[in-house]
Amino acid sequence: MTKYVFVTGGVVSSLGKGIASASLGALLESRGLRVTMIKMDPYLNVDPGTMSPFQHGEVFVTEDGAETDLDLGHYERFINARMHKHNNFTTGQIYDSVLRKERRGEYLGKTVQVIPHITNEIQEFIARGARLGQPDEAEIAIVEVGGTVGDIESLPFLEAIRQLSLRLGRRNTCFLHLTLVPFISTAGELKTKPTQHSVQKLREIGIQPSALLCRADRPIPEEEKDKISLFSNVPREAVISVWDVASIYRIPRMLSEQGLDQLICDELGLSTRPCDLSVWDDLVDRLEHPATQVRIAMVGKYVDLTESYKSLTEALVHAGMHTRSRVVIEYIDSEGLEQQGTGALAGFDAILVPGGFGRRGVEGKIAAIQFAREQRIPYLGICLGMQLAVIEFARHCAGLANANSTEFEPKADQPVIALITEWKNADGRIEQRSESSDLGGTMRLGAQQCPIRQGTLAQRIYGNAVNERHRHRFEVNNTLRPAIESAGLVVSAETPHEQLAEIVELPESVHPWFVGVQFHPEFTSTPRQGHPLFISFIKAAIARSRQAVEQAVLAK
């Protein structure tokens, strides 16, 4: 039977429950246990797919096409198990499921209430998420409760896990509580009172934490640990200090050295081999002792909220680990490029345009792509970044001066990017949407495999096939593709049935490294394996950096 570790948070949000949970998962997995992870989000949205990145940060897409919380990206980066749609659910999904059951008459006319119907449904969703895939179940399921203890919207989840712990018994469940220990600079000391109140609130609900993860900007002294233990009714050895570090990949070692994984195994009655953190130690060593450095310009419109590109920035860090290089990412506001020109891009070793939606800042991104192409700077375009690369090439190299996407200009004269339904009628005319119509189409989500054209840069990176995750509506317009390809842009991979462009590139005779991909490769990058596309991109940036140094030496 699956055993459960429930992770709650107190005082404030954004303390790092996802990182702490994922790090614990890595520790338990290193002990030989089959681990999976579940995130319960207390908001009423069905999923974060329609939420603004400023509200929610990145939307992480799983292999089966679910739009989920960004914490699932942390889970996949720290443990080997792949996440699926059942590993993340929201209050909206719970209520939707209960109301559908009520409409079907499954409650036999009973009054439907939060207790027991909503809490029972939450427990069913937890059990479903604990399955690694039929018929296997995880030995350990780490369940993260979103929000903060004391929030009204989190109460049904907390009540559900309290009930579940009673039903499964003490040796099958345990609770971790992540809380804040702030440093008050005017007093010159750490304050434990917020943690005391947070644990008190949790105990009022009926949950006694087995261990406390105490977040602070510095290691917590022994005296404060003793005080927290005394007033929180938690054993002294179960008060774990979690302080700020330069890399999240140091967290597993930090937790293990304080005995968290052994404490959890003791609580759950598990006898395992000792944890082996040699992989993580090697990764941290690679990260902290680079042989070179590269500067990457990431051109986007969410530059004030880097959580919007969390998986992408981590994928670049992973590539840095595997190339022994420090990757310095500088965020460039694409709207600023529209107003001030591309001078801000000078001196970078590579340029990256990530995915996104909407027309704001698009012309600035196109200007950045033109700069990268003309200056022969390594370029990687992801999703929208690939589509804009096609538009830029069509405008300036293929004679399609009015090339655009119908996402930005519904009545574009030359819609090189469009919805499949807009491509053509029986007579070959482009079918256009009205200004008042919505985005339309169906979002292409999840993993899809396709073959790669032989003799291309993409083939040297991926091999003969690519299988990556998607999250987009618009595609390269196949009716205008021949004109673009004849001008020199290479479509090096396309879907096997619809012939939709998946990868575009420039020949190496024209540009040293210029690639656009319709999918999101950042979702499958992990620190242990890295990702071949990002590793190749960083290698190209290193070559550019070395070339610049050599030219500077010759100039002197």
Its pTM stands at 0.91
User: Same CATH fold, 290-548 and 3-282?
Assistant: yes
Number of H helices, E strands in the chain: 18, 23
Mean pLDDT, residues 7-19 taken together? 91
For residue 135, say if its preceding peptide bond is cis, omega within 30 degrees of 0: yes
**What's 116's DSSP letter?**
I
* Residue 541, number of CB atoms within 10 A of its CB: 30
**Which run of H or E residues covers position 447?**
strand 444-451
Annotate 271-331 with DSSP letters as a single string.
--PPP--HHHHHHHHHHHS-SEEEEEEEEES-TT-GGGGHHHHHHHHHHHHHTTEEEEEEE
Q: Which of 169-173, 309-313, 372-376, 445-449 has the highest mean pLDDT?
A: 372-376
Strands, sheet with 501-505, edge to edge from the N-terminal-most edge strand: 325-333, 292-300, 350-353, 379-382, 514-517, 501-505, 490-494
- How large is the average pLDDT for residues 178-204? 94
In this predicted structure, the answer to whether residue 334 has a pLDDT above a threshold of 80 is: yes
Mean pLDDT value of segment 482-509: 95
pLDDT digits (tens, 9 = 90+) for 400-412: 999 999 999 999 9
Whether the CB-CB separation of 66 and 85 falls below 8 Å is answered with: yes
Strand order in the sheet with 414-418: 403-405, 414-418, 475-476
The class of domain 290-548 in CATH terms is alpha beta
Name the residues annotated as catalytic: 383, 520, 522
Q: What is the CA radius of gyration of the chain?
A: 26
Q: What is the pLDDT of residue 536?
A: 98
Question: What's the CA gap between 544 and 553, in Å, rounded?
Answer: 14
Q: How confident is the model at residue 170 (pLDDT cuts 50, 70, 90)?
A: confident
Beta strands of 146-205 (E only): which ranges?
A: 173-180, 183-184, 189-190
pLDDT score of 53 more than 70: no
Q: Give the dihedral sign, CA 8/10/12/17.
A: negative
Residue 155 has what pLDDT? 95
Per-residue pLDDT at 433 exceeds 60: no
Residue 423 pLDDT > 70: no
Class of the CATH-defined domain 3-282? alpha beta
Locate the domains of the chain by residue range: 3-282, 290-548
Tell me if 474 sits within 8 A of 405, measured CB to CB. yes
CB 503 within 8 A of CB 452: yes
